[in-house]
């Protein structure tokens, strides 16, 4: 098994892609063709990291999807960071359906990833974060990101 695990499941006009692991210079996306699918849903919760060489391969791979509507769900922070930073990382036809926002409590050291879903916690142009996020001990948690940077992609 390589560093990246990709599972593809095609049903009707929709291709579901589930990814887990690391995307780096060793990844070979050529075996996972995206072409010919009007709708693609990419599930990314298992993705751990991506480096600069992996970004190059990712953009090339996304280019093979053509005009397909691509929906990205459960995007971890590493993906959101790349979406914000790298122009073209999110394809022109791509939309983020849901993504994780890290929260933490500096006193207890507790951490939590809160899923922001389209239409609930965010929509085009802005976020509507939960009024309160608490850890298992009831401590109030705050966002572990710089909001103006992390939610930047929503303003495009």
Q: Which is nearer to another protein, 86 or 97 (CB)?
A: 86
Nearest approach in angstroms of CB 102 to another protein is 8
Does 7 help bind another protein (rule: CB under 8 A)?
no
Query: Per rule CB under 8 A, is residue 107 in the interface with another protein?
Result: no
Nearer of residues 7 and 149 to another protein, judged by Cβ: 149
What own/partner pairs with CB < 8 Å and gap ≥ 24 does 51-58 have?
A: 51/23, 51/24, 51/25, 53/24, 53/25, 54/22, 54/23, 54/24, 54/25, 54/27, 55/23, 55/82, 55/86, 55/89, 57/23, 57/25, 57/27, 57/29, 58/23, 58/29, 58/82, 58/89
Q: Is 59 in the site for another protein (CB under 8 A)?
A: yes
- As a dihedral over the C-alpha atoms of residue 127, residue 88, residue 149, residue 73, rounded to 10 degrees, the angle is 40
Q: Cβ neighbours of residue 37 under 8 Å, at least 6 residues apart?
A: 10, 13, 14, 15, 65, 68
User: Does residue 28 touch another protein according to CB under 8 A?
Assistant: no
Q: Which is nearer to another protein, 17 or 50 (CB)?
A: 50
Q: Alpha-carbon distance 156 to 148, whole Å?
A: 13
25 touching another protein, by CB under 8 A: yes
Q: Taking CB under 8 A as the rule, does residue 84 contact another protein?
A: yes
**Interacting span for another protein (CB under 8 A) from 5-13, 53-61, 64-72, 116-124:** 53-61
144 near another protein, rule: CB under 8 A: yes
Site for another protein (CB under 8 A): how many residues? Answer: 20
- By the criterion CB under 8 A, which residues form the site for another protein? 25, 51-53, 55-56, 59, 84-89, 104, 144-146, 148-149, 152
């Amino acid at each position: 098994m390589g560093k990246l695990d990709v599972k593809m499941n095609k049903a009707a006009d929709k291709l579901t892609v589930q990814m887990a692991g690391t995307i780096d210079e060793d990844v070979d996306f050529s075996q996972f063709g995206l072409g010919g699918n009007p709708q693609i849903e990419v599930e990314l919760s298992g993705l751990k990291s991506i480096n600069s060489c992996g970004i190059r391969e990712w953009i090339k791979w996304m280019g093979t999807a053509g005009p397909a509507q691509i929906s990205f769900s459960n995007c971890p922070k590493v993906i959101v960071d790349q979406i914000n930073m790298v122009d073209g990382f999110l394809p022109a036809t791509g939309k983020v359906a849901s993504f994780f926002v890290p929260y933490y409590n500096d006193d207890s050291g507790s951490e939590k990833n809160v899923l922001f879903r389209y239409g609930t916690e965010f929509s085009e142009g802005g976020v509507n974060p939960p009024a309160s996020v608490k850890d298992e001990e009831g401590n109030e948690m705050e966002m572990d990101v710089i909001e103006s940077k992390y939610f930047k992609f929503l303003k495009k």
